[in-house]
Amino acid sequence: MSHKITLIPGDGTGPELADVMKKCVEATGVDIEWDMQEAGIDAIGKYGTPLPGSVVESIKKNRVAIKGPVTTPLGSGFRSINVALRKELDLFACVRPCKYYAGAQSLLKNPENVNIVVIRENTEDLYAGIEFEQGNEKTKKLIDEIKTLSGRSVREDSGISIKPISIFGTKRIVKFAFDYARKNSRKRVTAVTKSNIMKFSDGLFQNTAEETAKNYPEIEFGHKLVDNMCMQLVQKPELYDILVLPNLYGDIISDLCAGLVGGLGMAPGANIGEECALFEATHGSAPKYKGMDKVNPTALLLSAAMMLRHIKESDAADRLERAVSAVIKEGKYVTYDLKPSGGKKAVGTKKMADAIIKKITG
Ligand code: NAD
């Protein structure tokens, strides 16, 4: 069966990673017609926007997309394309598996016991984009209103970001996490919040998660405060299975978990909605390495394996994952981050991908 899939190479190191990902997926023999779409800072010159409307249209039509990372310039007023895509397509669930592959450079004593899936709510929380700039008239009005409604003073020279967390959004993500646990024979879901401080947003997330968990009696449920969770993940990561979190904590904890299993080059991801799914690595565009054929393709390749499973090409997904795993284990044709001692004798992105293709086809 032929699949039509939107491919967004992105910018920075994105295009070189997308190129090898495409070759590795094609090596599995799966029949894919790639619908190539441009987004990111490189698209601005051509389209006048980093996210041309045709990109969203293509994903809506094909329902499945894979994307290289894109840059979000800091403090430019330029909204993150990633956040925009997740909102526009209502990709409410971000799934980031953090599993150790033998050969990866982890600082843990027993990294082989780490097999965590971070499930992050993607549409609400401080990432909802509801912000009031310092000094603005509307911000001053809001500060007055806050004083009237809550009796609390906010300093006049403040900027404000709003943190909405709804019962609807929380139920939806927690249900997704439990359904994922059921489907993948996982045993335990842990909700992570700061409910002791933010009672009406994180407290709502915790209470709603506890209620939803009652529908899944065969799966263990727990709750942890996010600060404690950070320490526990570093000291006893093997105790955790699936984590479900509001947007901001999910973003931060998934990078922490990536660090446990060897760094950002090892962490794949997917953004899933009712209609569409967009697969992408956890890492960003690593612009300092742009065009240097240097960075690790594993995260995007494992994202591609998740994509293949999503389109019911599990055999191809298994072959791709096994090939990646074998090349990392051998440790010969791997990128700098997969080598001990500062990456001596490392190969580049392309050579590592060639070794993976050889395993797939050999
Ligand atoms: P980054 O993830 O791009 O890179 C941080 C560091 O991690 C790099 O300098 C590198 O040392 C390492 N790293 C990242 N990817 C790697 C790989 N594949 N192999 C080996 N090492 C790797 O984070 P950043 O520098 O904070 O962000 C750069 C840009 O990417 C920013 O504009 C940010 O907004 C954007 N970003 C995009 C996405 C996305 O497109 N999904 C996600 C996160 C950040």
> With contact defined as beta carbons under 8 Å apart, do 71 and 12 qualify?
yes
Please report the pLDDT score of residue 242 as a whole number: 98
Question: Would you say the pTM of this structure is higher than 0.85?
Answer: yes
* d(CA 116, ligand 1 centre) in Å: 21
Report DSSP letters for 126-188, one per residue.
GGG--EE-TT-HHHHHHHHHHHHHH-----TT--EE-----HHHHHHHHHHHHHHHHHTT--E
Helices then strands, each counted (H, E), the chain? 12, 12
Nearest to 301 by CA among 325, 285, 331: 325
* d(CA 86, ligand 1 centre) in Å: 18
What is the distance between the alpha carbons of residues 18 and 299, in angstroms, rounded to a whole number? 11
Nearest CA to ligand 1 atom 31: 71
Nearest CA to ligand 1 atom 4: 286
Residue to mutate, 66, 264, 266, 352, ligand 1, most ligand atoms under 8 Å from C-beta? 264
Ligand 1 atom closest to Cα of residue 289:
9
What is the distance between the alpha carbons of residues 342 and 142, in angstroms, rounded to a whole number? 51
* d(CA 285, ligand 1 centre) in Å: 5
247, amino acid identity: N
Joined tokens for residue 85: 């895509």
Nearest to 94 by CA among 221, 245, 228: 245
Ligand 1 atom closest to Cα of residue 13:
18
Nearest CA to ligand 1 atom 39: 69
Q: Please list every protein residue whose CB sits less than 6 Å from any atom of ligand 1.
A: 69-72, 82, 264-265, 280, 283-288, 295-296, 299, 337
Nearest CA to ligand 1 atom 43: 284
Exposed / middle / buried, residue 343 (Cβ in 10 Å: 0-12, 13-18, 19+) = middle
Joined tokens for residue 78: 């330029």
SS3 label, residue 263:
coil
pLDDT in single tens digits along all 362 residues of the chain = 899 999 999 999 999 999 999 999 999 999 999 999 999 888 888 888 889 999 999 999 999 999 999 988 665 556 788 888 998 999 999 999 999 999 999 999 999 999 999 999 999 999 888 999 999 999 999 999 999 999 999 999 999 999 999 999 999 999 999 999 999 999 999 999 999 999 999 999 999 999 999 999 999 999 999 999 999 999 999 999 999 999 999 999 999 999 999 999 999 999 999 999 999 998 999 999 999 999 999 999 999 999 999 999 999 999 999 999 999 999 999 999 999 876 679 999 999 999 999 999 98
Ligand 1 atom closest to Cα of residue 287:
28
Residue to mutate, 13, 76, 283, ligand 1, most ligand atoms under 8 Å from C-beta? 283
Please report the pLDDT score of residue 75 as a whole number: 58
Ligand 1 atom closest to Cα of residue 286:
3
> With contact defined as beta carbons under 8 Å apart, do 308 and 32 qualify?
no
Ligand 1 atom closest to Cα of residue 299:
18
Residue to mutate, 285, 298, 300, 303, ligand 1, most ligand atoms under 8 Å from C-beta? 285
* d(CA 68, ligand 1 centre) in Å: 11
Nearest to 280 by CA among 3, 29, 21, 1: 21
DSSP H or E segment with residue 139: helix 137-150
345, amino acid identity: K
332, amino acid identity: K
* d(CA 301, ligand 1 centre) in Å: 16
φ/ψ region of 148 (left if φ > 0, alpha if ψ in -120 to 50, else beta) reads alpha
* d(CA 1, ligand 1 centre) in Å: 35
Nearest CA to ligand 1 atom 11: 286
Planar angle of CA 351, 69, 37, nearest 5 degrees: 95
DSSP H or E segment with residue 192: strand 188-193
What is the distance between the alpha carbons of residues 194 and 68, in angstroms, rounded to a whole number? 32
Please report the pLDDT score of residue 87 as a whole number: 87
What is the distance between the alpha carbons of residues 339 and 186, in angstroms, rounded to a whole number? 31
Please report the pLDDT score of residue 293 as a whole number: 97
Q: Please report how the helices 349-361 and 14-27 are oriented relative to each other, as an axis angle in degrees rounded to 10.
A: 10
> With contact defined as beta carbons under 8 Å apart, do 103 and 328 qualify?
yes
